[in-house]
Amino acid sequence: MGSESVPRLDVVVIGAGLAAAKAVIALRENGHDGAITIVGDEEHPPYERPPLSKDFLMGKSAFDDALVEPATWYDEHDVRLLTGRTVEILDLAEHSVTLSDGESISYDKAILATGARPRVLDIPGAELARTLRRVEDSEALRESFASSSSVVVIGGGWIGLEAAAAAREAGVDVVVLEAAPMPLQRALGDEMAGYFADLHRKHGVDLRTDTGVDSISDSAPGDGGPYTVTAGGDELTADLVLMGVGAVPNTQLAESAGLTVDNGVVVDERFATSDPDVLAIGDVARARNTALDESVRVEHWDNAIKQGRAVAKVLLGEDVVYDWQPYFFTDQYDLGMEYVGHAGPSNDVVVRGDRSSGEFIAFWLDGQRLTAGMNVNIWDVNDDIRALCGRTVDRERLADPDVPLTALIEGEVAGG
């Protein structure tokens, strides 16, 4: 640990989301004594977004529960938190940032943690659809669920499906339109994507796959709906339209500064951009992952946390690299799951347990090599699955619930 040998650095963090907060918390916890400023364009202290499509959307949790730290934490730890302000210029030569209110702040090291924003389809009437990224979006959606009887969700990705589950819970009729043959197909492959499709249909969702959307229109313009969605030759009417078709990294600032950008701000395994004094983490960063031996941009909660903590250690001179398997989770209806690893599209699936019971583990394999695993309504096993990622495994033993996962790990270690 090199904090004593590292010069006092003034750090500016651009963006005040989860990755940013975790970075500054880890800096202070590990003894960083330089100035720290975080600048965020939202009006709130950093908060976690997963509840926005789950408990918070369903009215089961409060916004304060989503704060990474209470608002007072930042002052107490001598962190200057500037909310409601945008960083408009990143000047690499001057080592400074300029904010929307004209203030200029100089830095020794800057961390780009600008996250991502909802992707919007280029179709007529796209502006009539809601998106879900910020707390205000979730609040407005929750209120609309209470006064609506129908919603069309465009996109069967994680956020679309979680919002569909919340809408069903609120008693709203839901149509989900997915352009691909199955929802979540790219993330999970056919077999497990089919499991999620069945789950939603069982809960009364009208899930239409292979269905691209052509247009959205307001039946009574100016009255806020009902809306007509034209898709797959059909016209659907709904009180509300939600678009959940993925996210786009917020790279504009990095691009204007002249940093290398290619599906995210390109960084090495220690989060350095093409300028060594600017680092990037979280949803905006496409980082070299040494465990996967590829550059990946991961839009998940755990990635923001781990990269935030790791970048702090990099700045403190520690020997840390981005070397962990990606992880994410979801909650939909009574299904809770965690996924760890990085399966390829040609990987096949081995299931341990009975999927019809709703409690099982799915593993993805590339030949005999385990690439990822997903525990569904089974807990405290994700670390074991993580330990199995990248290993050669015996498929029969993997599928057998009587063989403990720890035995498989140990067996593999012993057996080389």
Ligand X SMILES: Cc1cc2nc3c(=O)[nH]c(=O)nc-3n(C[C@H](O)[C@H](O)[C@H](O)COP(=O)(O)OP(=O)(O)OC[C@H]3O[C@@H](n4cnc5c(N)ncnc54)[C@H](O)[C@@H]3O)c2cc1C
Site string for ligand X, 11-30 (x = CB under 6 A): ---xxxxxxx----------
Query: Judged by CB under 6 A, does residue 159 bind ligand X?
Result: yes
- Least distance (Å) between residue 137 CB and ligand X: 8
Q: Which is nearer to ligand X, 51 or 353 (CB)?
A: 51
CA gap 19, 200 in Å, rounded: 31
Query: Judged by CB under 6 A, does residue 239 bind ligand X?
Result: no
- Least distance (Å) between residue 285 CB and ligand X: 8
Q: DSSP for 365-379, please give it.
A: EETTEEEEEEEES--
Q: Which is nearer to ligand X, 29 or 33 (CB)?
A: 29
- Least distance (Å) between residue 327 CB and ligand X: 7
Q: Which is nearer to ligand X, 20 or 152 (CB)?
A: 20
Indicate which single residue of 111, 113, 161, 170 sits in contact with ligand X (rule: CB under 6 A): 113
- Least distance (Å) between residue 298 CB and ligand X: 7
CA gap 57, 135 in Å, rounded: 9
Q: What is the separation, in whole angstroms, between the first and last Cα of the chain? A: 32
Query: Judged by CB under 6 A, does residue 330 bind ligand X?
Result: yes
The upper half-sphere exposure of residue 132, i.e. CA atoms within 13 Å in the direction of its Cβ, equals 31
DSSP-derived letter for residue 53 is G
Q: DSSP for 209-248, please give it.
A: -S--EEEEEESSTTS---EEEEETTEEEEESEEEE---EE
CA gap 137, 184 in Å, rounded: 23
Query: Judged by CB under 6 A, does residue 322 bind ligand X?
Result: no
Query: Judged by CB under 6 A, does residue 309 bind ligand X?
Result: no
Query: Judged by CB under 6 A, does residue 87 bind ligand X?
Result: yes
Query: Judged by CB under 6 A, does residue 332 bind ligand X?
Result: no
Question: Is the previous residue joined to 226 through a cis bond, with omega within 30 degrees of 0?
Answer: yes
Q: Which is nearer to ligand X, 28 or 365 (CB)?
A: 28
Indicate which single residue of 49, 95, 200, 386 sits in contact with ligand X (rule: CB under 6 A): 49
At 127, is the secondary structure helix, strand, or coil? helix
List the helix and strand counts (H, then E) for the chain: 10, 25
* Backbone phi and psi for residue 132, each to the nearest 5 degrees, phi listed first: -135, 105
Size of the site for ligand X (CB under 6 A): 36
Query: Judged by CB under 6 A, does residue 300 bind ligand X?
Result: yes
Site string for ligand X, 134-153 (x = CB under 6 A): --------------------
The percent helix, strand, coil of the chain (3-state, each to 5) is: 30, 30, 40
Query: Judged by CB under 6 A, does residue 52 bind ligand X?
Result: yes
* Backbone phi and psi for residue 121, each to the nearest 5 degrees, phi listed first: -65, 145
Query: Judged by CB under 6 A, does residue 41 bind ligand X?
Result: yes
Q: Which of residues 357-416 bind ligand X (CB under 6 A)?
A: none
* Strand 335-341, strand 285-289: pairing: unpaired
Of 1-9, 323-331, 384-392, 398-406, which part binds ligand X (CB under 6 A)? Answer: 323-331
Q: Which residues bind ligand X (CB under 6 A)?
A: 14-20, 39-42, 49-50, 52-53, 86-87, 113-116, 132-133, 159, 250, 253, 282-283, 299-302, 304, 328-330
